[in-house]
């Protein structure tokens, strides 16, 4: 048996098999939907079976049922602004770099605008890993690099989706994990990189030249740290293209869960048996904590192992925090409870998304956006806090 025998609904594209193969007989290619899948070169393969038996798709390892959880907000307002929510990840990562000289691994947007896992070693580089990239990140041979660094005595903090943490554990045996710390994300599911590429290509036909960068979540630099879910394409010239989720094909499909990798609908990590030492996510039970930075995006931080609890004692001073009722959060934050439910609309959707005229796709999967709305959004995203307060007072008076 080789990894080719793993069924499509179980292969997460984590790249563990490629990293494990003693003969380098496996490379990752993309399937017809643009998702990463392993391809075994039969001429090199010696049928040792390592890729099959070691595949996390066959395995069921987890750390512990989450010990404790907190609602957290990083005190450092500069780092906080670049984070998707309350800066849980960057708080842990900066502590690990400063105190342990650790290597930090996570997902970054690369020069070709794809998303890949990279390794960084300074706090200045952390910005590359911050903020959510709502697409499958390509791990490549990073697990091997992590294994080597651990063998060389380095401390490593690895962050990613739970299936990527499982991939890492498949490559790094337990006895070598003493200096390895992991952060998993509460994860909705991942769309195909090919769809994001298509949307970027379409937006690159704009009069403002090509897309040079993009973001899914944005915090107004002049107001509180509340992050807006927006598709923001930074262009070669002029103002960014900015669309609300429903106005954007890619984001709309992501939010509705219509375009995830097939394995995401069977995700075995979508529960409270977390695989990472830490779990970070958004807080969906925020209404129960009205006293905790109510107008800001806060993170949940779950402490899943004794190793993590020990570290938390040291770095908790970096955060404002309050204890989280983890089980109640799981009632609201569904990916802590069960995988996203697959809709029948998912059948064959990629054939349409990758081949149909873009104008047809836009009409079907996004609501139109007027030019005025685009400028209004841009203005709102940059309006200073004090102007916002006055505007909302005026609005309330007009209403009442």
Nearer to ligand FAD, 289 or 358 (CB): 289
* CB 195 within 8 Å of CB 43: no
Interacting residue with ligand FAD among 183, 196, 275, 308 (CB under 6 A): 183
Q: Which residues pair with 156 in a beta bridge?
A: 103, 180
Residues between 268 and 327 that touch ligand FAD (CB under 6 A): 280-282, 299
Count of chain residues binding ligand FAD (CB under 6 A): 33
* CB 180 within 8 Å of CB 156: yes
Nearer to ligand FAD, 55 or 104 (CB): 104
Phi then psi for residue 29, to 5 deg, are: -125, 180
Residues between 8 and 27 that touch ligand FAD (CB under 6 A): none
First to last CA, the chain: 70
Residues between 132 and 151 that touch ligand FAD (CB under 6 A): 132-135, 137
CB of 74 to ligand FAD, least distance (A): 8
Phi then psi for residue 164, to 5 deg, are: -75, -35
Nearer to ligand FAD, 84 or 150 (CB): 84
Q: Is 79 in the site for ligand FAD (CB under 6 A)?
A: no
Question: What is the rounded distance in angstroms from the CA atom of residue 281 to the CA atom of residue 291?
Answer: 19
* CB 75 within 8 Å of CB 299: no
Residues between 102 and 121 that touch ligand FAD (CB under 6 A): 106-107, 115
* CB 361 within 8 Å of CB 349: no
Interacting residue with ligand FAD among 15, 55, 165, 190 (CB under 6 A): 190
Which pair of tokens denotes residue 217?
A: 């979540």
Interacting residue with ligand FAD among 40, 97, 109, 129 (CB under 6 A): 129
Q: Is 230 in the site for ligand FAD (CB under 6 A)?
A: no
Question: What is the rounded distance in angstroms from the CA atom of residue 149 to the CA atom of residue 98?
Answer: 17
| Site of interaction with ligand FAD (CB under 6 A) | 83-89, 106-107, 115, 129-135, 137, 159-161, 183, 185-188, 190, 280-282, 299, 333, 335
């Amino acid at each position: 048996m080789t990894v080719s025998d793993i069924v499509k609904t179980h292969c997460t594209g984590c790249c563990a098999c490629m990293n494990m193969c003693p003969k380098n007989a496996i490379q990752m290619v993309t399937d017809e939907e643009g998702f990463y899948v392993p391809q075994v070169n039969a001429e090199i393969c010696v049928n040792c079976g390592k890729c099959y038996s070691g595949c996390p798709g066959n395995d069921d390892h987890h750390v512990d049922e989450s010990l404790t959880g907190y609602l957290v907000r990083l005190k450092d307002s500069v780092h906080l602004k670049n984070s998707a929510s309350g800066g849980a990840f960057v708080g842990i990562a900066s502590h690990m770099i400063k105190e342990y000289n650790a290597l930090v691994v996570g997902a970054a947007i690369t020069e070709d605008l794809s998303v890949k896992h990279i390794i960084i070693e300074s706090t200045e580089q952390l910005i590359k890993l911050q903020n959510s990239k709502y697409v499958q990140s390509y791990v490549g041979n990073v697990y091997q690099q992590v294994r080597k660094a651990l063998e060389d005595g380095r401390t490593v903090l690895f962050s990613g989706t739970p299936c990527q943490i499982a991939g890492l554990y498949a490559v790094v045996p337990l006895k070598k994990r003493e200096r390895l710390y992991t952060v998993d994300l509460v994860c909705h599911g991942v769309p195909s990189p090919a769809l994001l590429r298509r949307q970027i290509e379409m937006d690159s036909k704009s009069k403002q030249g090509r897309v040079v960068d993009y973001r899914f979540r944005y915090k107004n630099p002049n107001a509180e740290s509340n992050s807006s879910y927006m598709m923001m394409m930074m262009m070669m010239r002029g103002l960014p293209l900015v669309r609300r989720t429903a106005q954007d094909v890619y984001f709309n499909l992501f939010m509705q869960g219509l375009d995830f990798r097939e394995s995401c609908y069977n995700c075995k990590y979508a529960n409270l048996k977390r695989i990472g030492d830490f779990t970070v996510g958004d807080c969906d039970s925020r209404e129960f904590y009205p006293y905790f930075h109510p107008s800001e995006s806060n993170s949940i931080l779950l402490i899943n192992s004794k190793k993590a609890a020990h570290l938390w004692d040291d770095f908790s001073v970096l955060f404002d925090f309050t204890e989280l009722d983890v089980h109640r959060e799981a009632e609201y934050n569904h990916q802590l409870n069960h995988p996203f439910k697959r809709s029948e609309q998912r059948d064959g959707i990629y054939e349409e998304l990758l081949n149909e005229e873009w104008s047809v796709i836009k009409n079907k999967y996004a609501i139109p956006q007027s030019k005025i709305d685009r400028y209004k959004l841009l203005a709102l995203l940059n309006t200073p806090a004090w102007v916002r307060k006055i505007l909302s007072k005026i609005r309330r008076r007009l209403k009442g």
